[in-house]
Amino acid sequence: MIDVWQHVLKVIEPEYEKLLKTMQEGPSIIPLLEFKNNSWFLTLEELWGDEFLSVDSQKLDDRLTWAKDELSAWPNVIQTAWNQWIFISKKEAEKFLVVYHLTWEI
């Protein structure tokens, strides 16, 4: 007969392993591009495992600092929040996404 606690541990072990991996590797920083009010909104969000959480990490802070410095020289780009910018054209927003991915994902 299996002990109740052994059964509980077997059930939660895969979930625990997933959470442990997420905490060790940190969040994924996802750039989200959305069209509204005739402008393109770019938001950098943290993805912890399968969920967007409002937990600030050093990884997000580093990327936001980089994005702020990078976009300060771009014309027609306005920062509206600590993690959000408005682009007038889709082409400029996509250009930034390419630069972002080449800088952080390789």
With beta carbons less than 8 A apart as the criterion, state whether 86 and 77 touch.
yes
Tokens of 30: 């996802």
Per-residue model confidence (pLDDT) at position 29: 85
Q: Tell me the angle at which helices 90-104 and 58-71 cross, rounded to the nearest 10 degrees.
A: 130
With beta carbons less than 8 A apart as the criterion, state whether 43 and 64 touch.
no
Using DSSP's 3-state secondary structure scheme, residue 96 falls into helix
Residues of the chain with confidence (pLDDT) below 70: 1-2, 49-56, 106
Per-residue model confidence (pLDDT) at position 49: 66
Per-residue model confidence (pLDDT) at position 58: 81
Per-residue model confidence (pLDDT) at position 100: 93
